[in-house]
A and B are shown apart, each in its own frame.
Chain A
Amino acid sequence: MKTILLTVCLFLCYPLLSIAQSNQGSEKVSLSAEELEAFKTQAIKTVGDLGTYITVMVDKANPIERRNYNVRLAVELFANADSNIVEVSSLKDPSKKNYKSVRKYLIAVRDLPYQSVEIKWFGIYLSSDFVLGKDGKYYGVASICQIFEGKTKGTDGKLSVISKDTTCKSIQLIVEKLECMDGLKMNKCWILKLGDIKVDEQRTK
């Protein structure tokens, strides 16, 4: 099991490592058009990975170790899960908003009271540009929507849907220059991380 997880982890990290920069000495290094395009592809994959981890961590059919492991994997996708914020607004009361750190949000998601969940992701949209920030990192936004179905076991032992909602998330993307392994050497490379998240509940028709 551990070998499989390690393989999955290495697989997820590979695209990040492969976008290593060669001119890391300069302060004014910027991303080329090709690199930006590569990061757009990577961003879509990373947001998809976050969805996969959430699906696994919520599902009570999975052992708690696996669910916790997926919380950790999800946390690793963020620049800083303790300072990155999730803002949740509800359609019932749009005037009220809740804020949580990403870590607390993921733990709350893990502890949702469902036996099993089904999450259908759709409509990923990524703005065309990553914009350079004053700190030298590049910032972009991905929007993604999900239909969430929470199921619990009834008295007859069958799973039935007790909760269904649709939410759209705007997820900040941060492309950051960090130390990374390039073969056997440490090198500087650009790595994509997730940042703050804004969640909007949507009406279903």
Chain B
Amino acid sequence: MNNVLNKILFFSIYICCWKSTFSQQLSLGNGWLEQKFYFQVRQLSQFMERFNYQEKLMTPSGEIVSRWINLAGLINHEDSILTSNPNTKAFLKQCYRDSSTAKLNFNDSLWYASVKATFDYKGKPIEIEFLLMPEHYLNGGTSWSIVSVDSKILDIDTNRKASVFINPMGHEVGFLDMIKVINRNQLSSLYHSYYEYNKLSVLDYLIQRQELKFVQINSTEYTFNQIPGWQFTVKDFNRNSLNSGWLISKIIKKASK
């Protein structure tokens, strides 16, 4: 029943929303594509503007729709699990209710991008996932910076064996223990407990050595933590539907403290 109600709610946006108050020039013809691009969320910035109720959809009679409908249009309607999930409705409700605070902001650090890219490693395609965050500078400028990276190819054995170490007087014999450990491929056992293995440096090394060659970027998605109690993910749905473009693909309710 809840699922049906949600579908009706989500579908209603298409019936009542025929135009939006884009402040930009937007040529709107009669064709399907014109309609599609009229409704489609074409940029992440546009997603944020619709989410924040800065870009407002309008009814055929020219009335501005509620933020609720603006928000509902940002959900991926073709995912029945998402649309029927009670969390989806609860999330929308909270954003609608706390309209002054439930806003997305480009300039904070509570969101990040995940970029999946294919690289060629010795003739084989390898997927590597990058996590990027906006980094802010003193001049007020911003850039996207890589925070971390992940891939099977970057995994190495970093287990520290308690039995493998350089004894406290090892320095007196020129750290000869190190040779034995390196030859047994157990270098990680000698890492200082403060040291954290860094996959990004390994990736950088492989790229600089030209062992890893960039092929293409496969996908990008954004994760937002800016709405208290919630985390949601936004992906680009390039499809033949009015409900397309940058849409919410996943909503997770955070565990209360």
Contact = CB atoms under 8 A, between A and B. Distances in A.
B42 A128 contact: no
A124 to B, nearest CB: 6
Interface stretch (A9-17, A90-98, A103-111, A156-164): A90-98
B106 A131 contact: yes
Contact of B24 (A30, A96, A124, A136): A124
Contacts of A27: 139
A185 interface: no
Contacts of A30: 140
Given A28-B139, A132-B142, A133-B141, A168 B37 contact: yes
Nearest to A141: B43
A50 interface: no
Interface in B34-69: 34, 36-38, 42-43, 45-46, 49, 54-55
Interface stretch (A73-81, A186-194, A196-204): A196-204
Nearest to A123: B37
- Give me the 3 closest cross-chain CB pairs, A-B, nearest first: A127-B45, A123-B37, A134-B141
Interface string B166-182: 00000000000000000
Query: What range describes how many residues of B lie at the interface?
Result: 35 or more
Given A44-B25, A123-B37, A168 B42 contact: yes
Interface in A118-166: 122-129, 131-136, 141, 143, 145, 147, 166
Interface of B: 22-29, 32-34, 36-38, 42-43, 45-46, 49, 54-55, 106, 135, 137, 139-143, 216-218, 238-240
Given A30-B140, A132-B139, A125 B33 contact: no
A128 B217 contact: no
Nearest to A140: B45
A135 B143 CA distance: 9
Given A28-B139, A30-B140, A132-B140, A44 B240 contact: no
Contact of B216 (A96, A124, A128): A96
Interface of A: 27-28, 30, 40, 44, 87, 91, 94-97, 99, 122-129, 131-136, 141, 143, 145, 147, 166, 168, 170, 200, 202-205
13 contacts: A40-B24, A95-B218, A123-B26, A123-B28, A123-B33, A123-B37, A129-B106, A133-B141, A134-B135, A134-B141, A143-B43, A202-B238, A205-B240
Given A87-B217, A125-B22, A133 B142 contact: yes
Contact of A135 (B32, B106, B141, B216): B141
Contacts of B218: 95
A205 B45 CA distance: 27
B141 A132 contact: yes
Contacts of A40: 24
B145 to A, nearest CB: 9
A123 to B, nearest CB: 4
A52 B23 CA distance: 24
A127 B24 CA distance: 8
A205 B239 CA distance: 11
